[in-house]
Amino acid sequence: MKKKLLPIIMLLGQGMMYAQFNASLDSNNQYYVDDKKIKLAETEADQRFRSNSYLTMTYKYKQFTVGAQVESYEPKALLNYSPDFKSVNLGTYYVNYNNEKGVDVTLGHFYDQFGSGLALRTWEDRQLGIANSLVGGRVKLSFADDLATVKALYGKQRVGMGFDLSKTSVAGVDAEFQLTKALGSDKFDSNVGFSFVNKHESEDPNFINAPADVNIYGVRWNNEYKDFYLNAEYLYKTKDAIKMASAVDPVNVYSGNAMNVVLGFAKTGFGISGTLRRLENFNIYSDRERIGNQYNQALLNYTPALTKQFDYSLANIYVYQAQPQMTFFPQRKAGEIGSQFDINYQFKKGTALGGKYGTDIAVNFANWYGLKGKYRVYEDYNTVETKALDLGERYYSDFNVDIRKKLTQNWNTALIYVYQDYNTDRIQETEGHVYATTTVWDNLFKINKNSLKLELQHQWANSSYKNWAAALTEFNFKKNWSIFVSDMYNYGNDDKEKQMHYYTFGGVFRKNSTRIQASYGRQRGGLICVGGVCRMVPENTGFTLNINTTF
């Protein structure tokens, strides 16, 4: 009997060697309450407990992978998420085949990116409420030891839960060629890429003369030579509908273009890079009706704000949002042009400024403007003429200095200075212009096997919310535990009723691949941004429970 079972056991064991199952759970829960300063809006007060939860599962056997994500927004989604996210349903599902010969095929939901994402990017970010996968098919082929890579895809975009899809079909081809390999050289690295994207959407009487087909053509060139790198990308979009501007604009259709150039130098202890980008009418949505929607639904490409991404709460009050859109009402805007520069330097150990452990300094500055142009408004149509590199009104600028130093074996500290020039009138299309200066002192102390984080911030502003003070302390102990308390105090607000504390306190437990966080506090209203993409959140007070685990 044992001899008969042995081949079966060996066969099952071999199957287990090829098979792998993974799953993860991400559950974000809030219970909203009223306090003396903040009350839940009447339209939202019918349901105070809300939850966004995601169960992701993948099963891999040899070259095949099957995946699915079940999503729950019960009883309702967290505040200010798209109303398309509701109930419990199958959010995404796919089957993938990938072999060692360079063949990669996916059917079902998939995320992808062409180049930097200006031509096409679909991705998921749960914090921002973005889940804009394509549903259809994608084929990726690699030739001659990755000398050339070609991707082709076709599908419709997810715009809600379950099987809710955009009516628009999206097709695309992206190809990349390794010039260095083709030339047989190892002294530099160079590749060139080409992108084509088509979206086909049936005619709509609300968008007179809007074409059924909109095409995007892109070319990019990436180079590295020793310590230098240069990346350049240019894209052109054929005529596409813009957000309905006004009753006197029945045409409502314009072409667009984008240019992005990055030049840098990096070696041990020193780096410098600069980015120049120009966007003209280059926001792309799969659904005309959703152009410019606040939830980033039906978004097909990626136009992040190219400014420093701050880790500190006060510096994120006046955060820039990219302005790629063309509008004629209520404001006349055609896009943006600007630049960002980063300089990083490390003072070596033993030098006057490096001291015993060395010192790191980072300097960043950015300037962003509208496109200078001539806008003409006629009785039955509008026109705009722009010049390639002319600067219009300044939308935003900042200057930042970040100094980090290890003072002793158990004490790391950082000093941060941030200056921001924020044109509220242009960015948020509300009146005002803010000049804000923020300073931060960030400290981390090691205490035996524990650690203590102490962070102090202050912001001076000439208008809007005016002055703020903030503090954070976090104690990590016994490897698995941490507790934290933070507060943002808007003591300088001209409206005394709004001079309030936005406090939060709570704890975190971590073990292996599980993390549980519980907290209570007030959420400041405004923009929340991840990777330069933002969404609005309302002021609220309540309890929060987050659970993340993999198994």
Provide the pLDDT for residue 164.
Answer: 87
Percent of the chain topping pLDDT 70: 95
- Check pLDDT > 80 for residue 17: no
Structure tokens at 243: 């957000």
User: Which residue in this structure is represented by tokens 């003409």?
Assistant: 376
Residue type, 245: A
Helix (H, G, I), strand (E, B) or coil at 16: helix
What confidence tens digit (pLDDT) does each residue in 161-181 have?
Answer: 877 899 999 999 999 999 988
Q: Is the dihedral of CA 165, 166, 171, 176 positive or negative?
A: negative
Q: What is the mean pLDDT of residues 106-112?
A: 97
- Check pLDDT > 60 for residue 329: yes
Provide the pLDDT for residue 2.
Answer: 52
Provide the pLDDT for residue 3.
Answer: 57
Q: Counting Cβ atoms within 10 Å, is residue 45 exposed (0-12), middle (13-18) or buried (19+)?
A: exposed
Provide the pLDDT for residue 8.
Answer: 46
Round the average pLDDT of the chain to a whole number and report it.
92
Prediction pTM value:
0.92
Q: Counting Cβ atoms within 10 Å, is residue 388 exposed (0-12), middle (13-18) or buried (19+)?
A: exposed
d(CA 232, CA 261): 4
Provide the pLDDT for residue 9.
Answer: 47
pLDDT bin (cut points 50, 70, 90) of residue 114 is very high
Provide the pLDDT for residue 252.
Answer: 77
Q: What is the mean pLDDT of residues 230-253?
A: 79
- Check pLDDT > 80 for residue 320: yes
Structure tokens at 418: 């941030």
- Check pLDDT > 50 for residue 354: yes
Provide the pLDDT for residue 380.
Answer: 67
Q: Provide the β-strand partners of residue 470.
A: 457, 488
Least confident of 59-68, 236-245, 432-441: 236-245
